[in-house]
Structure formats: C-alpha cells, structure tokens
Structure 1
C-alpha cells in the first residue's frame, strides 16, 4: 500500500492525542500529488504519509461533526452520505480535490475541501 489512503470510514476513527491543524487544501494537494508521483518509493516517506493521512482524517472528522451539528439544530446539511460505511479511495479523492480550481484550493482548508467533495458525491 504505497498510496495515500483517504477513506471516509476513517472520518469516524478516533484520533490520537494530537489533532492536526487545518491544512490549506492546495498545500495538501501538492504534497499528496508529489507523494503519489514517487510510486513505490513513497514507502520511504512514512512521515509525509502519516502527516497527510492525519490531516485527511481530521478533515473528515470535522466535516462529519459539521454535518451532525447541522442536523442537530434542524438545518439542512451540505452533504448526505448513505447509511453504513461510505468509502472513497485515494485516487477518487485526489481527482475530486483536483477538480476544485487551484486558486480556490489556496483559499480553503482541508475541511472545506472535504465538505465540497462530499457534497458533490453525496448531495442531499
């Protein structure tokens, strides 16, 4: 498994003691793309893989929290995933992230990028 795995199922996984700060979506995109280009050599970039996975998990968790908070107050959430586990592999996630224009990615954090990706994949 030399790819950066970004799974929606991990959004509900418990985080470690350290919670990643929100990373700029363009920074995440550039770092993940650079890592993907390494192919099998990406295995030697465990620190980078861990940093990106932690950020992806934290963004997924925050997106989920926002959706649940909207539901709790009776607002319409921005995305509506199906019941049960919903997964997205790293290739699909990166394609959807790349579909957000670079100038826009530079202005938003990974939580907002994740919400936008999920809103397209799972509209309400």
Structure 2
C-alpha cells in the first residue's frame, strides 16, 4: 500500500531540491565565502563551501557557454569569444577579477554576471 505513494513522495523531495539549485548566488555572497575559504588555507579542502563555490562557477560557465552558442546560432554577436582550443582559468584569476568590479555594481550582480564580465574582458570578440 505504501508503494503507491513512493513516486509522489520522491517527486516532493526532488522539486524543492531542483528549485534550490536554480537560484543563482549573489556575487557579494560568493566573494564573502571565497574570502573565508582563502583564510582557511589548506583546510579549505574540508569545507562544504568549496564544492558549493566550484559548482556555482561551473554552472555559470556552462550557462554562459550556452548563451554564447545560442547567440552565434541566431546570428547575434556573442558577449565573449574564447579560443577554439579551450583554456584553463584559475580560481585566483576569477576572484581577482570579481574583486576589481566596483562594490556598488557588484551588489547588483549574480555570479553568472560576474563571470560574464570576466569572460568579456578576458576574451573580447574582434570588432
């Protein structure tokens, strides 16, 4: 009898989790957590925030790539033009860039916006 309700219960557990992951992290909160991790040094590896921040950057980068490819497919100019062979970008480079964004502007940004800003500066498209 309980098995009939299992799919319903499972879907109730999945929906809130999916909604939680759909929320973007504000850039100031990201930088606050990143700064706290930097202060921990090597012990940061044991913090749950490390994986959270890595996932946030990966999700933002993936979304920006999708945006860029969709713009190209639609014949619109992309916001940034990375090299075709791909590149490695370090966390320090991203954080350094995020910290150069004026605080007043940063307050209104999500991590994805910060990444868009970074990618546009690092990989400008030819005019």
TM-score (norm 1): 0.80
Structure 1 stretches of 4+ moved >2 Å: 17-21
Q: 2:35 corresponds to which residue?
A: 33
* Gap regions ≥5 residues in structure 1: 1-16
SS at match of 1:84: coil
Bigger helix fraction? 2
- Equivalent residue number for residue 84 of structure 1: 85
Structure-2 residue corresponding to 1:110: 111
Unmatched segments (≥5 aa) in structure 2: 1-16
The Cα shift of 1:41 comes to: 1.8
**How many Å apart are 1:43 and its aligned residue?**
2.2
| Cα 1:20/1:56, change in 2 over 3 Å | farther
The TM-score normalised by the length of structure 2 is 0.78
Bigger relative contact order, structure 1 or 2 (CA pairs below 8 A, ≥6 apart): 1
Deviation at 1:35, TM superposition (A): 0.5
Kindly indicate whether the alpha-carbon contact (under 8 Å) linking 1:63 and 1:112 is maintained by their aligned counterparts in 2. no
